Structure 1
Amino acid sequence: MLTVLMGEYQRAYERSVADPEAFWRAAAGLIDWVTPPGRILDDAAPPFYRWFPGAELNTCFNALDRHVDAGRGDQPALIHDSPVTGALTTYSYRVLRDEVAVFAGALRRLGVTRGDRVVLYVAMVPEAVIAMLACARLGAVHSVVFGGFGARELAARIDDARPRVVVATSCGIEAGKVLPYQPMLDAALDAATHRPERCVIVQRPQHLFELRPDRDLSWDDAIDGAEPAECVPVAATDPLYILYTSGTTGKPKGVVRDNGGHAVALRWSMRSVFDTAPGEVYWAASDVGWVVGHSYIVYAPLLTGATTILYEGKPVGTPDAGAFWRVVEQHRVTTMFTAPTAIRAVKKEDPSGALLRGRDLSSLRHLFLAGERLDPQTYAWASDLLSVPVIDNWWQTETGWPIAANPRGLEPLPIKAGSPSVPVPGFRVRVVDGTGRDMPAGEDGAIVIDLPLPPGCLPTLWGDDERFVRSYLTAYPGTYLTGDGGRLDEDGYLYVMGRTDDVINVAGHRLSTGAMEEVLAGHPAVAECAVIGVADPLKGQLPRGFVVLKRGVEADPIGLEEELVAMVRAQIGAVAALRRVDVVPALPKTRSGKILRRTMRGIADGLDEPVPSTIDDPSVLDRLRPVLVNYPAAHGSEGSAPSS
């Protein structure tokens, strides 16, 4: 261990693994309880563990009411900043509490009670946050579906969650285009076997929803005359929300988040990981349809008493690559959280940082990045540009908060480019081989987490305990399988190199595509890149690279390819066998910014690969498809001879 790691972080981590019940009992003191925790961990039926059994609370009370009761009702709670519409609205804690209470009363008048489900099909508007918190106020379970998801995906989630009410916005707005939601919602409700009783529609002036009187009512009509609802106490183990993530079978997996563990973990993380205090301005530039939006747009900042920003825009194009810096300056943001992909997009459009000049970013203390591996080049660019610590952190929809991070509130640790730093207290992270044995420091393997997972992580999947066990808990008994591969170094820092299915086998050599991407990203002309493994008759698989150039950069594709191949050969070795790198205008991504490598690989291998419902822009994949499928014809078979 580094000497610095023997400080407060190391003490906290050791407490969390040696006596997790005492550790999390202390953390629970940051939350207001109706019935305080007695027993901390129910471990009677492994692998099913429950935190704070017997305790009661209300998450909405902790997010809103208690701050008003403490005399901070006039502090800004939520800032809605929408460059796509020009709207800028600030809600104080008192105003937000009152609006949430009224909409909770409207839902109650529609028959929603504790334990009922409400599906939200929403854009990035204040009503999305209000509806989430209103469900929590009633003890109902919300399930947010990213606005604009296709009808089939929405129908699958409606059938699985079986909501009493659906709340939807009439449209979304992206890249200057208005996206009506009615066609998708109507088709989904026609296709679903479950029939919600009512739909509440937030009418946006950019496009109105044609209400069906037998099914729909507007948000304004729903709240008209509604009596504000008080907070309903629920068990700590009761579900707060369901968030669906992609499943390998095609049926989405409903990740369950409970009330008690979620509140304790997120409140603790804001202080200990994100170094954010009450009254400060915290901005997670994500979407409420994803886990980052749930955890760090809505719940964690409000549980803390901070001010959170709901941003309806993009890192580039609304209006330009200086959009993020405008928001930080205008709202005096102290901590910002976004995806590496967003920063790479800014870097591509404005590689010199010209749009930052003249901006006052003196309020900004940290930039946190997560969602995809933070490559060292993007880390270095952002660090040099902003002159603040750039903090990688790694986690999943299933965990709900960081597994590995640099715990800035506990003890700022040295930053190592390419690593999200160290396991967060509570997460007993190991790297193992195929038999479950720990790998030596510096050697790659599968990343697993010993059970029980800490508070805030999924206790199961909605309505499917068997799938929960099969998906996460059977590969290495007694552990949670993250599905990611990587290594721990001699200082205890974790390196996450990508999904284990992104490790390719070239003539018997297991190679990380993440390591190759790191090399490609180091070229000064490259804005972002992806490496996939494609089937090869001789070697099993061969790597293929794809790069997007920085804005304004012109390069001879053949000459650039030769340079990149030579770089990989020099830094990884000839065994990598990377011989083809294509320059492409864009890479296909999910709406949360993850590159669709598995989809690209399937197309290159000639499979009938379905287009994922999470794709941000299907046209990018359409343009890339000919490059993927014409690989052997364009370059000839690379399986004709072994690499030198």
Structure 2
Amino acid sequence: MNTQSNRKPLAITGIVSRAKQEDDTGKNKLTGGIGCGSLYIPIAGDIASFIATTKSEINERINEMTTVTHPIPNKCKGSNGLPTPHIGPDLDSYKKAHALTTGEHRHSFWDKAAKETLYWHRPFSTVVTGGFEHGDTAWFPEGGLNASYNCVDRWAIQNPDKTAIIYEADEPGQHQEISYGELLREVCKVANVLKSMGVKKGDVVSIYLPMTWHAVVSFLAVARLGAVHSVIFAGFSAESLRDRVVDGKSKVIITSDEGKRGGKTIATKNIVDAALKECPDVDNVLVLQRTGNPVNMQQGRDYWWHEETAKVVPYCAPEIVSSEDPLFILYTSGSTGKPKGVVHTTGGYLLGAALTVKYIFDVHENDRYACMADVGWITGHTYIVYGPLLNGVSTTVFESTPVYPNPSRYWDVVQKHKLTQFYTAPTAIRLLRRLGKEHVQGYDLSTLRVIGSVGEPINPEAWDWYNEEVGKKECAVVDTYWQTETGSIIISPLPGAIPCKPGSATFPFWGIEPVILDAVTGQPLEGNDVEGVLAVKHPWPSMARTVYGDHARFLDTYLKPYPGYYFTGDGAGRDHEGYIFIKGRVDDVINVSGHRLSTAEIESALILHSGVAEAAVVGVQDELTGQSISAWVTMKPEFKGSVDENLVKELTLQVRKVIGPFAAPKSLYVVGDLPKTRSGKIMRRVIRKIVAGEGDQLGDLSTLADPSVVDDIKDNVPSKELLDNERPSSMSDSSATGSATNSGSNTNTGSSTGSGSSSKTSSIPATAGVGGLTFTEPPQTKTSYYKVAAENEITFGWNLTSLYNTPDSLTFDAVHTDSGNTYTLGSVGGGDTSFKWDPYKYYTDGNSPPLVYDTYQLRVYDENGPSAAPSPGSFMPNSNLRFALYKPKAYTPLDQWVCPNCSSAVKSLPLASVAWLLTLSLILVSGYSVMRGTRH
């Protein structure tokens, strides 16, 4: 076990780790610890190093996530007439192969791969120059090639009748197949039209098209001329389109009269017209006739696709460009409000696209491949257009949605076109899972060999459903990790070689050397069972080169945060077997009382509830715990009528049970939908801003699919002023009846767990609550203490963060639950004015000494207000009594603490006591412990 004190410790989910490593002699590597069978618990004198060491030693979160490993599925073993995978047959074969693509071998690997994968019209001799320091990486710099030739001509020459594109239109029953020979002719005709409009090498052409096969033609026609395409999702507003056209300095736009999606019509030409009112540099617009409905055509500027292509010859010689010449600009949304145009170059990008499709999707000559994304995003660029066509296989262009006209649409497409690979987003998988497996059953999906997930980490529940219902437990499930900036997948399973773990992207692709860095020091965290931020050690060919017109922004965002590395902006963990788990964006990590919690982990726990369809979790600033957890969920249709306080409690308890008490949401809202991009990603930053009271600073919302969702969320969140007024006030010496929480009349159902449904309960405070439990106000109580409705087996403990850093005095709000076994009170003495608190009895047989044992002043409240302290027997199940604690005695630091009963020091406590101490200090250090402390 690594016990370096400078290592940032990991947050853990619950119990003491059962993994005990031993050295060659079979003895514990650490001294000063207590060992019992497979349980090893170190004890340290200094509390800070004690907690740090202990966290790293007993890390449980990653281990819990990696308990299930799925073996290589039958369809990826090269038997029963199926193709033999490109790599296999096991993990060792992958590791040996990967070692020959990294380190001292990486240059020779990329050299050979580039020469074998792409057609070079002009050979190269230098593999790579430059590096991360100045952001001046260049791959195969002397080489010359053409993207269109590599994607189309090679295969059109060999087999012109082979299907290149499978086009599935929005309307059910309308589909078309375009051969490589036809594709070449169409690409050349559009290229000649663009040439007649003055487009030449290096010019930027904007493409604003719906998901028809003509979009692929447009990509390749622009590339054939050596020009640069800037594809803008056909759903952006006129303002967003304008900004991208102006930034890219485009003089030509390719669009359509209208688009079709999910049975709805998109007025693409009208949007272009509105945008061009402020784009004076655009000279020409080429318009595809998709629906045939009348649109405005400006003479001298707007030209019909079908008319112009009928005028030109069907061949255009490809323009040879340098490997480092730009191939495309793709704009991604920025939180600052200004989208950034990521620039990808030709040679390196094509190589990454080609290799990842070949190995990760295990494509073979006769495969019929489908990525269900939109070409307006990087996934569509790489895995609809370039990657499949570079491998000479058939690629699918899907114009519709997963649920139009019904939730079986995907599976109808798979069956109809006999697809062999299927690639979609976790959002779509969760949606289809929510709608029921009956929509999958009855369809023949037997042609599928590989099914993939892209866009965000897929939660294990969705992974299992995908594997069982779609893959029938026979297909490889590739959970892929990459970014717009990486150009192609950099971490993913390889069918035939890497056993999968739900929720894990598994291992790096060829030539990629990911590192997990300490977020504070920037130092690599070696070995397994580590968690930090994800970076890449060396440049790779498909990575972006710059932000268009703003190289300083590129350096500041990706290369300067951790000098010498490419910084992904994502958190990641590596489990005990080396599997990589992506934790989501670094700003999607919540720190609650020192516990670093992944939003994805909490979301997965919420989705375990049978009624939850989707979940989003964000961090909210909290005076007591630093941050608290705000959860937002949507429900399956059959559960939408049962949104009430009980549901909120169930969901909160779900998180407590799956992860631990410290992860319980402080607020929980049930809403109709979550804010998502048009590509299906949940926009958590929007929720985060609104919850923080910054609803007027949401940044770029051009990718938001449904703006009304934002208004719904705003309606469900109390104003910042209201929340400030509802914060608990402390109880002073002279005011034992000081209000702990004020009644939040404008908050939604659920106190610390508020439901964003339409029902509202004025008696539930916005910020009150312990462990996510719901409160109801007792009648005639003159103070604002609340009766708690609790489930059995809920464990509470002290807030040791407050105890260890105690000032002269502390004020606590404490509650007694109606569940008699939640905790145990000790004896009452001192004339019924003090009592002794013994939570330790809940964890042990009661024969060992308590870890915290002190005398407090006690005031008890019943339905009629304050009363004398009761006897111990009054604290029984169904009791309606509440109590408040104040003026505790000063505490002794834990490393100096001695039990008042037996005079035992911490280091000499029984093993069970130490185990409880670990649970107490590492798991229950939160604002959701049985006491809520306020320093003063």
Match of 2:478 among 388, 391, 414: 391
Query: Partner of 1:445 in structure 2?
Result: 532
C-alpha change, 1:439 and 1:110, in structure 2 (3 Å) is: same
Query: Partner of 2:707 in structure 1?
Result: 618
Answer with 1 or 2: which has the greater Rg: 2
Per-residue CA distance 1:397-448 (angstroms, 9 max, x = gap): 111211210022xx43111111111111222111111111123533321111
1:370 aligns with 2:454: yes
User: For this pair of structures, how many residues does the alignment match?
Assistant: 636
Per-residue CA distance 1:248-299 (angstroms, 9 max, x = gap): 3322111111111112111111221110112210100000000010001111
Offset of residue 604 of structure 1: 1.2
Query: Partner of 1:643 in structure 2?
Result: 928
**Distance of 2:376 and 2:281 partners within structure 1:** 22
Please state whether the residue corresponding to 1:146 is helix, strand or coil.
coil
Offset of residue 20 of structure 1: 1.4
Single out whichever of 329-338 and 262-271 deviates more from structure 2: 262-271
Query: Partner of 2:39 in structure 1?
Result: none
Query: Partner of 1:207 in structure 2?
Result: 293
Contact 2:360 2:478 in 1 (8 A): no
Offset of residue 26 of structure 1: 1.6
Per-residue CA distance 1:174-213 (angstroms, 9 max, x = gap): 3322121233212222223x51111111122253321000
Match of 2:138 among 16, 33, 50: 50
Amino acid at match of 1:416: K
Single out whichever of 609-618 and 359-368 deviates more from structure 2: 609-618
Per-residue CA distance 1:355-388 (angstroms, 9 max, x = gap): 2222111100111001011000000111111212
Offset of residue 536 of structure 1: 2.5
Contact 1:143 1:241 in 2 (8 A): yes
Please state whether the residue corresponding to 1:200 is helix, strand or coil.
strand
Offset of residue 639 of structure 1: 7.4
Query: Partner of 2:97 in structure 1?
Result: 11
Query: Partner of 2:795 in structure 1?
Result: none
**Distance of 1:211 and 1:183 partners within structure 2:** 10
1:357 aligns with 2:441: yes
Match of 1:382 among 442, 461, 466: 466
**Distance of 1:639 and 1:195 partners within structure 2:** 58
Per-residue CA distance 1:200-242 (angstroms, 9 max, x = gap): 1112225332100032111123223123311111111111111
* TM, length-normalised to structure 2: 0.66
Contact 1:173 1:179 in 2 (8 A): yes
Offset of residue 46 of structure 1: 4.1
Structure 1 segment 263-278 matched on structure 2, within 5 A: 263-278=350-365
Query: Partner of 1:504 in structure 2?
Result: 590
Offset of residue 556 of structure 1: 4.3
Contact 2:262 2:405 in 1 (8 A): no
Match of 2:515 among 430, 434, 443: 430
1:329 aligns with 2:415: yes
Please state whether the residue corresponding to 1:394 is helix, strand or coil.
coil
Single out whichever of 170-179 and 397-406 deviates more from structure 2: 170-179
C-alpha change, 1:251 and 1:110, in structure 2 (3 Å) is: same
Query: Partner of 2:933 in structure 1?
Result: none
Single out whichever of 151-160 and 36-45 deviates more from structure 2: 36-45
* TM, length-normalised to structure 1: 0.95
Single out whichever of 129-138 and 268-277 deviates more from structure 2: 268-277
Query: Partner of 1:60 in structure 2?
Result: 148
Match of 1:140 among 227, 233, 236: 227
Query: Partner of 1:587 in structure 2?
Result: 674
Query: Partner of 1:189 in structure 2?
Result: 276
Per-residue CA distance 1:557-601 (angstroms, 9 max, x = gap): 322221221121223222224133222222111011110111011
Match of 1:121 among 208, 228, 244: 208
Match of 1:161 among 240, 248, 258: 248
Per-residue CA distance 1:43-95 (angstroms, 9 max, x = gap): 2774321111100111101111111212x110110011013375311100000
Query: Partner of 2:600 in structure 1?
Result: 514
Amino acid at match of 1:295: T
Structure 1 segment 257-336 matched on structure 2, within 5 A: 257-316=344-403, 318-336=404-422
**Distance of 1:278 and 1:546 partners within structure 2:** 45
Offset of residue 14 of structure 1: 4.1
Match of 1:412 among 477, 497, 501: 497
Contact 1:81 1:88 in 2 (8 A): yes
Query: Partner of 1:179 in structure 2?
Result: 266
Contact 2:606 2:612 in 1 (8 A): yes
1:340 aligns with 2:426: yes
**Distance of 1:503 and 1:205 partners within structure 2:** 46
Contact 2:100 2:109 in 1 (8 A): no
Contact 1:520 1:568 in 2 (8 A): yes
Amino acid at match of 1:380: D
Single out whichever of 152-161 and 580-589 deviates more from structure 2: 580-589
Amino acid at match of 2:178: Y
Contact 1:285 1:311 in 2 (8 A): yes
Amino acid at match of 2:506: S
**Distance of 1:206 and 1:593 partners within structure 2:** 29
Match of 1:233 among 317, 320, 324: 320
Query: Partner of 1:89 in structure 2?
Result: 176
Contact 2:211 2:375 in 1 (8 A): yes
**Distance of 1:619 and 1:176 partners within structure 2:** 20
Please state whether the residue corresponding to 1:212 is helix, strand or coil.
coil
Amino acid at match of 2:690: I
**Distance of 1:152 and 1:639 partners within structure 2:** 43
**Distance of 1:365 and 1:443 partners within structure 2:** 33
Match of 1:461 among 547, 552, 555: 547
List alignment gaps of at least 5 residues for structure 2. Answer: 1-65, 70-88, 724-743, 752-764, 770-812, 814-926, 930-936
Which is helix-richer, 1 or 2?
Answer: 1
**Distance of 1:348 and 1:208 partners within structure 2:** 39
C-alpha change, 1:567 and 1:85, in structure 2 (3 Å) is: closer
List alignment gaps of at least 5 residues for structure 1. Answer: none
Contact 1:75 1:279 in 2 (8 A): no
Match of 1:473 among 552, 559, 579: 559
Please state whether the residue corresponding to 1:501 is helix, strand or coil.
helix
**Distance of 1:559 and 1:17 partners within structure 2:** 56
Contact 1:153 1:613 in 2 (8 A): yes
Amino acid at match of 2:583: M
Offset of residue 539 of structure 1: 2.6
**Distance of 1:509 and 1:375 partners within structure 2:** 21
Query: Partner of 2:862 in structure 1?
Result: none
